[in-house]
């Protein structure tokens, strides 16, 4: 009797492991071994994001139809927007942010405001065609951005920010 159950179990395991298609939720098919939609890693955390959307930088027009606020909110991020350099400076002194989204042409000015602090927010630069790039600014997101590339850039920036904050000396 025990050997019969063992054989049935072995045959069932072989049949189930060689089945190429698995039915999932009605008429949809999930084929084993194929990837699914973009999913954030389990280690990703919600971030406080500050977007410097100065009209002269061209970022608001370059973002086009991408609803940045709703995309970030859907992933648990909090978005604050600054329209001028004065607003940006006031927000940076009054709040704690993990990531700053800005056009690559204004990254040098933002880094000047941050002053090289170890717990400063990470800057994600948008590459806008026709905009001058000051210094050696790496572009994190090409414009017009896709949801996936924007979220990946923010997740990487949060990791950079957390790593630099961990390595920073404690405040006294």
Residue-wise pLDDT for 34-70, tens only, equals 555 555 555 567 888 999 888 888 888 878 778 888 8
Q: How many residues in total does the chain contain?
A: 172
Q: pTM to 2 decimals?
A: 0.68
What residues does each domain of the chain span? 48-167
19-26, Cβ contacts within 8 angstroms, sequence gap of 24 or more:
none
48-167 has which CATH code? 3.40.50.2300
């Amino acid at each position: 009797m025990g050997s019969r159950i063992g054989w049935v179990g072995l045959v069932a395991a072989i049949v189930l492991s060689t089945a190429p298609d698995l039915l999932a939720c009605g008429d949809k098919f999930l084929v084993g071994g194929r990837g699914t939609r973009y999913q954030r890693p389990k280690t990703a955390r919600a971030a406080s994001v500050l977007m410097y959307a100065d009209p002269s930088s061209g970022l608001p027009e370059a973002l086009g139809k991408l609803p940045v606020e709703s995309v970030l909110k859907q992933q648990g991020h909090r978005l604050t927007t600054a329209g001028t350099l004065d607003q940006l400076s006031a927000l940076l002194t009054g709040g704690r942010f993990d990531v700053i989204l800005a056009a690559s042409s204004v990254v040098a000015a933002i880094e000047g405001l941050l002053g090289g602090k170890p717990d400063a927010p990470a800057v994600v630069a948008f590459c806008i065609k026709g905009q001058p790039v000051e210094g050696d600014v790496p572009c994190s997101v090409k414009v017009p951005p896709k949801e996936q590339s924007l979220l990946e850039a923010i997740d990487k920036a949060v990791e950079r920010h957390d790593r630099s904050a961990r390595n920073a000396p404690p405040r006294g």
